[in-house]
Chain A
Amino acid sequence: MDTSELIKTLASHSKGTARPLSTVWLWAAGMSIAIAALVFFTVLGLRSDITSALETPRFLHKFLVAAVLAVSAFVCVRTLSRPGENRRNAILSLAIAPALLAMAVAAELFALPSDAWAATMIGRNSVVCLTYITIIGLGPLAVFLWTLRYSAPMNPALAGSVAGLLAGGIAASFYAAHCTDDSPLFVAMWYTIAIAILATLGAAAASRLARW
């Protein structure tokens, strides 16, 4: 087909533009939080001592790290989903959550005697943590992969891995309200592995699904 002919054909289809991407990302965020909440309250639910836990800094810190991860990954994946955006700052902002966690780990190592480190890190819920953060994150990840398919990521695998971090951040925010292991050592170990699983899944899936 001749290029000028192609232009004529395309121009005659100027109507019926799809929804702007920023709107679709907001929907995706809302929908994925709803799905994660549904799965969380159906399968796990809040821990029984939630009211007293809310007064301890370790418990609250889990939410801070997970929420900061979710927000920075949301901003980042939105940027990565459009051609021609400046990607550097968005990617750098992903370092905030790990930095917050690293500071808490350092504080915890000072607070605890060294013979308690290993037991605290392994905790009691490691398998539950790995399984349920991944399961709660799968629904949101699917929503974000669909959104990436609708977008135009310059690097689909990279965008997919950040979508996995975002799904992981949302899943961890919910899971943290169930889990009784509050030590930053536990979080740094098991939450990280679970979120890394989601990021890997996201990268693998997006490199197939989000090509355009």
Chain B
Amino acid sequence: MERRDEAEFARLLRAAIAGDEKAYGEFLQHAAFLVRAFARRKIMQGGIDPEDVVQETLLAIHLKRHTWRQDAPVLPWLLAIAKYKLIDAFRHRGRRVEIEIGEIAGTFAGPISETASNREIGHALATLAPGQRLVVAAISVDGRSISETAKWLGMSETAVRVAFHRGIAAITQQFGRKQNGYK
């Protein structure tokens, strides 16, 4: 990115932090574009959708935008967040592989139950990113409301809703894959 673009990029984020909705939209569009290019370049093998990394990074930018120093360049800050979320995605993929083996071993040993056991719920939650895990656990397991969860985690209600939907989607995808294996 050119120096002039960096200045423009920083201006957008400053305006966004001051509450300018339009500037924030533009900023996030551009951020998504940069992070997508970064994630596609870094993800060589399958198992991780670059778009997941883009979305996790955008959500992190939103929740952590107060950690940007207004006199610092935006790009190193942005790419550091993307890197953190990418490493997180790799770590979760590693864990998911272990969990699948663990679950298969369990099905040989014990009877298959119709409803999800606490252990299965625990496993499903363990595959989620930490933010999603907290939100899904709070809402689905502890039975808190969206607004209670938002207050508890210090997030906005929208952020809670987004994390909840993405978390549930990830779990459904995983359980769906497993059930197909049985039939």
- The interface of chain A, by Cβ under 8 A from chain B, is 1, 3, 6-22, 81-85, 150-152, 154, 211-212
Contact = CB atoms under 8 A, between A and B. Distances in A.
B165 interface: yes
A83 B69 CA distance: 10
B32 interface: yes
B132 to A, nearest CB: 12
A82 B71 CA distance: 13
Q: Which of B66, B67, B158 has the largest number of chain A CB atoms within 10 A?
A: B67
B21 A14 contact: yes
Interface of B: 16-17, 19-25, 28-29, 32, 51, 54-55, 58-60, 62-70, 72-73, 75-81, 83-84, 130-131, 154, 156, 158-159, 162, 165-166, 169
A154 to B, nearest CB: 6
Nearest to B88: A211
A19 B156 CA distance: 14
B131 A3 contact: no
B80 A83 contact: yes
Contacts of A81: 67
Contacts of B73: 84
Contacts of B17: 14, 17
B67 A9 contact: no
A23 to B, nearest CB: 9
A6 B25 CA distance: 10
Contacts of B131: 212
A17 B63 CA distance: 9
8 contacts: A3-B54, A6-B162, A10-B24, A10-B159, A82-B69, A84-B72, A152-B60, A212-B131
A204 B54 CA distance: 29
Contacts of A85: 72, 76
Q: Which of A14, A18, A21, A150 has the largest number of chain B CB atoms within 10 A?
A: A14
A45 B100 CA distance: 58
